[in-house]
Amino acid sequence: MRILIVEDEADLANAVARGLRREGFAVDLAGDGRSGLEKASINDYDVVLLDRDLPLLHGDEVCAELRATGNEARILMLTAAASIRDRVDGLDLGADDYLGKPFDFEELAARVRALGRRTGTVRPPALERSGITLDPATMVVTRDGAAVELTRKEFAVLHILLEADGAVVSQEELLERAWDEQANPFTNSVRMTLVTLRKRLGDPPVIETIVGAGYRL
């Protein structure tokens, strides 16, 4: 799941980003409303954590613009203004959830996971190919009926490969969807994750490297 944090308090934004990355999420940061709106228009985010009192462009305007343009990201508003009227106004603007500051990180992470489970389109309950079954809702993976234990990043990469349904997925797409904008395009993170993923899936190998193009399951 890819998340955008739009927050002008740098220490808070970085702390939340570190925590969410430890949970296995890909996280991007924006320090003002204008850059947040720009990133949300370029990248596909599952969840946007949106501070309300932002410089350059108020969070209310960002929320309203995202909804007006049909952006399907789930929006969780974070703000020190936590009165009932503030919460109602935020939800009426199109936010999906509202959390007042200060907040507990565990609650934030739980709300992010809950929002990530809400999708705008109907998806199959499980993906299957080459004897591998992946259930996005329960994060359960099996091969030929036997459970396969994966890290969150391995799960994300396998999910993307299964969704491709036999098509080649480039390293750049894997980086964009399973990591975040901080990922170095020259990093070996994708290759090393695929090495461990192949080991966990066992023999015979099911993930093929297409030289110069990417990977295919």
Segments in the chain below pLDDT 70: 81-87, 90, 119-125, 180-186
3-state secondary structure of 23: coil
Are 180 and 143 in the same domain? yes
Q: Would residue 175 count as lying in a domain?
A: yes
Q: Would residue 121 count as lying in a domain?
A: no
CATH of the domain at 155: 1.10.10.10
Give the pLDDT of residue 37: 94
Asked if 97 contacts 50 with a C-beta cutoff of 8 angstroms, the reply is: no
- Report d(CA 158, CA 150) in Å as an integer: 9
Enumerate the β-bridge partners of residue 6: 30, 50
Token readout for 143 is: 């091969």
If you count them, how many residues does the chain have? 217
Which of the listed residues 78, 95, 116 is the one where a domain comes to its end? 116
Are 159 and 207 in the same domain? yes
Give the pLDDT of residue 121: 45
Are 70 and 96 in the same domain? yes
3-state secondary structure of 143: strand
23-55 per-position pLDDT tens digit: 878 899 999 999 999 999 888 899 999 998 899
Are 79 and 138 in the same domain? no
Q: Would residue 122 count as lying in a domain?
A: no
Give the pLDDT of residue 196: 95
Are 43 and 138 in the same domain? no
Are 35 and 76 in the same domain? yes
Are 190 and 98 in the same domain? no
Give the total number of structural domains in the chain.
Answer: 2
User: What range does the domain containing 193 cover?
Assistant: 127-216
Are 51 and 144 in the same domain? no
Exposed, middle or buried, 88 (CB in 10 Å: 0-12/13-18/19+)?
exposed
3-state secondary structure of 204: coil
Are 109 and 179 in the same domain? no
Give the pLDDT of residue 90: 62
Give the pLDDT of residue 182: 65
Which of the listed residues 94, 116, 138 is the one where a domain comes to its end? 116
Which of the listed residues 116, 135, 150 is the one where a domain comes to its end? 116
